Amino acid sequence: MNSDILKRIKILSEFITKQRRDRIDEVLSNRTNYLTLVLEDIFQPQNASATIRTIEILGLSNIHIIETNNKYTLNPDIVLGASKWIDIVKYTCVRSAFDNLRDNGYRIVATSCSKQSVSLEDFPIDNKMAIFFGTELTGLSHEVLENADLHLKIPMYGFTQSYNISVSVAIVFYSLISRLRKGSIRYLLNEDEKLGLKLDYYRKIVNRALSIEKFKLS
């Protein structure tokens, strides 16, 4: 498997400048799937787009979208190409999202202001986490709140009881990533995962990449 991926990477690398290859390697060295973002029924394109831009900058490799009632759309003026470098996984119901994430070793975390919520600065980071965010108006669904493994809250000290969702995502993931960077937990992609993602990135950069691979390998 790895030898085949390495062959394909070598083929496509001939069509990518060294400067760009070095930049891809730098980004991959900071990529993680230890944390992932899950958006439930976000209906405002600017919010969904801003969150994708934020998590890509912070080094996350994927995002999960639940579209029970609202279809997910992007605002290209806000996302600024970030969606090209993020794997987007979509679901039509909460249950399928829960099942897939748990099968991949994630602890389900609901953002809420409930009494059982753990404050962000005290939140445990000893396990992979899928962190769920809902709409600013209604928050997460009852199904998510009832079945999550843990609840997380962002400290707030004013009269207003909610941040803009893109701000919330930035605060939560910046805080958790910063703590992971300072600790000893192995949260970054392993070498096999980085190779797979590198091939994916190369294919997104090189025009007609699959045709080139097929020709060179034939």
**pLDDT, tens digit, for every residue of 36-61?**
999 998 877 777 888 999 999 999 99
**pLDDT, tens digit, for every residue of 19-36?**
999 999 999 999 999 999
> 54: annotated binding-site residue?
no
- Residues of the chain with confidence (pLDDT) below 70: 1, 74-80
Q: Which amino acid is at 98?
A: F
Tokens of 25: 């390697």
User: Are the C-beta atoms of residues 165 and 135 closer than 8 Å to each other?
Assistant: yes
> 17: annotated binding-site residue?
no
Class of residue 13 by CB neighbours under 10 A (exposed 0-12, middle 13-18, buried 19+): middle
Report d(CA 115, CA 53) in Å as an integer.
Answer: 31
Report d(CA 212, CA 9) in Å as an integer.
Answer: 11
With 0.85 as the threshold, say if the pTM is over it. Answer: yes
Position 106 scores a pLDDT of 98
Report d(CA 84, CA 109) in Å as an integer.
Answer: 26
Please tell me the CATH superfamily of domain 33-213, with its number: SPOUT methyltransferase, trefoil knot domain (3.40.1280.10)
